[in-house]
Amino acid sequence: MQRTATFLWHLVPTATLAIALALVSPGVLRAQDAGTTSETTAGVTPPRRIVISLTERRLHLLEEGRPPRSFPVAIGRPGVAIPLGDSRVLRKRRNPIWHPTANQRRENPALPVAVPPGPSNPLGKFALDLGWTAIAIHGTNEPDSVGRRASGGCFRMLPADIAVLFEMVPVGTPVRVVSGSAVLPSPQPAVAVAAATSSPPIPAPPPKVAPPLPILPDPRCATAGAPLRRMICTVPDLAALDGRARGLHQRHLAALPAERRDAAAYALLQEERRFDDRITARCWVRRGMEEDPAVAAAAEACLRDALSVRLEEAKRR
């Protein structure tokens, strides 16, 4: 009997601690998130992680075994505190409801308590809530603000970009915000991987040669007047990305039954117009400024990202 009582007595602190932890509010957990992330991920490279550079105003998605992907973001406007350090994705929300903070409502008393999903919602259609209180990576109903210091502390993305990111990152994905440029990993040489294992090498099967992607030139190139479209037409690697996406679209149309082809062709035409609108807002170049080397380099990098995403979407169609 005495042994049983002693055993139960030792269980009391443990049960009390479990109940106390269960009653901790979400806000407290969010405040403690940075410490938890650094402890649980020490020495382990997660399959996907996010690095946001305030200097570059870009979000980098790092995936094990794949080249990094990069997206422009809007960061906090001047005078707004921007979190730095490590956090993680705590929650994913489709069609999120926006709840203005108390400070935002003090600055603008006309703000409602909540804004439902829709065109007036500043979070757009997707939101990734982070471990910092009231900080998220989300879409926007003001795409022109992306790439600038324009937010209330969150990280805004273009609607098409946040839709891609939302599907790719799970809850728990580590997020690091740095003030300087992001340090991106270089691919690990195959020799180093072979040396790290003690097992005898296994002969690799002969590589499968994928059929080359069809490249369909843009018929507008002969008369293109907009600086960004001229850049796509004249820079070889941009023209190749654009042409491959067009070729895949053409292959997709050819595989459809005749009765569905016209509707699909019209949908692709509308999609191409939306793509042109996105790159105009995202990679904007003033007419006549494309000869400036710095302007041209920035526009080319922006277009390369946008065209790469478009090509990946065409492959998944």
Residues tagged active-site: 138, 154
Which tokens belong to 302?
């922006």
- Percent of the chain as helix, strand, coil, to the nearest 5: 45, 15, 40
Q: What is the DSSP letter of 303?
A: H
Residues 213 and 244: beta-carbon distance below 8 Å: yes
Distance CA 115, CA 121 (A): 6
Integer distance in angstroms from the first to the last C-alpha of the chain? 69
Distance CA 104, CA 114 (A): 12
Cβ contacts of residue 164 below 8 Å, gap of 6+? 71, 309, 313
Cα 157 to Cα 123, 168, 187, 261, distances in angstroms: 9, 15, 27, 33
Distance CA 85, CA 54 (A): 12
